[in-house]
Amino acid sequence: MLNHKHTLVFFTTLAVVLVAIDWSFDVPGWFYAAIVLLFISVEAYGAANIAAGFHIHSFCKGTTGKKEIALTFDDGPTPQSEKILDLLKAANVKATFFLIGHRIAGHESIVRRMIDEGHTIGNHSFAHNYWYDLKTKKNMLADLKRTEELIFSISGKRSKFFRPPYGVTTPALSNAIRLLGYQSIGWSMRSLDTQEKGTEFTTKRIVERLQPGAIVLLHDTVKGTEFVVQKLLSDLPAKGYQVVPLPQLIEKEPYV
């Protein structure tokens, strides 16, 4: 299986062999450059593709053969989250919300509502900025713990589910996840709701790509996502699909 450890061993060994050969033969400089470029490309692919399990195994799909899926929402809590919660409550559907720590302050009541209505809460980092993946392991640990404590102060629960910001994994983040005992959660169906291409486009994209065990990625921060959710909850039964809680779909406990 292609992963960070195997890749590092392979390219390190290759570099040692090339240096040894270079003592007797003139290895062109462009060959070294090509090897470095290939290494960077493999690492970049592994970091950006959460389903590859390059740095850490992530649950991206359930193992069920039944027409069951899970709905997950990233980047809240915000007032927009309540529109989603209203729809889920009316349909008696449970979802998972991956929360950004710095957005919790001032929205504690929304987090309490999520918990009270039986939804699962996960950690989605505190900062969630474009420079997040450049943090050291120490900084990653501090960041994750900061959100963890905020969630615990409101819910009395410590989540075991963590979704990496942007779905990007790095050695530092993967080590932090393991040390804190989190389960990394990915997705198998990206809705692209953040691109705001319209309710019809987003709903059609999801429905046409559905498979048993799908984990659907949505955002409770995007205006219009509530209409996508409303349409999904209306259309899925006709397709024979049922929305189930993420812990049930992947058979993992969500809290310590």
Give 87-133 pLDDT, tens digit per residue: 999 999 999 999 999 999 999 999 999 999 999 999 999 999 888 88
Answer yes or no: are the C-beta atoms of 162 and 123 closer than 8 Å.
yes
User: Residues with catalytic annotation?
Assistant: 74, 219
Q: Which residues have a Cβ under 8 Å from the Cβ of 114 and sit 6 or more positions away?
A: 77, 81, 85, 97, 121
Report field, pTM of the whole predicted structure over 0.85: yes
Q: What percent of the chain has pLDDT over 70?
A: 100
Q: Where in the chain are the domains? A: 4-48, 58-250
Measured CA distances, 11 to 15, 32, 36, 44, 175 (Å): 6, 11, 9, 15, 21
Burial label, 250 (beta-carbon count in 10 A; 0-12, 13-18, 19+): buried
Pick the CATH number of 58-250 from 3.30.70.890, 3.20.20.370, 3.40.920.10, 3.40.50.720: 3.20.20.370
Q: What is the pLDDT of residues 149-179, one digit of tens each?
A: 999 999 999 999 999 999 999 999 999 999 9
125 phi, psi to nearest 5 deg: 85, 170
190: which strand partners?
217
